[in-house]
Amino acid sequence: MKRILVACGNGIATSTVVASKVKDYLTEHGVQVETTQTKLMEVPGKVQGYDLLVTTGQFDGQTGDVPVVKGMPILTGIGADKTMEEILAKLQD
């Protein structure tokens, strides 16, 4: 089971959409995943123990050894496939 933290400005709207799409995509590709949504400002205190961080806003904070993927393309649809492939690849490393 992979754990993904999805962060947006308020931890509600865009992170919910992105988390849902990421979970659906990964499930279709045989990856069991659990997603959690949070506010960008809460990421440094919550990110440890996750396999991946997906953000929908500007984030320059510390994540330790947790890889980060910028998830805005998932919302806009422009480059979404490439972003999903990047997420899948990072979870398979």
Residue 9 DSSP symbol: S
Task: Count the Cβ atoms, other than its own, within 10 Å of residue 46.
Answer: 14
Instruction: Tell me which residues are annotated as active site.
Output: 8
Separation of alpha carbons 69 and 30, rounded Å: 20
Cα torsion through 25, 86, 3, 18, rounded to 10: -50
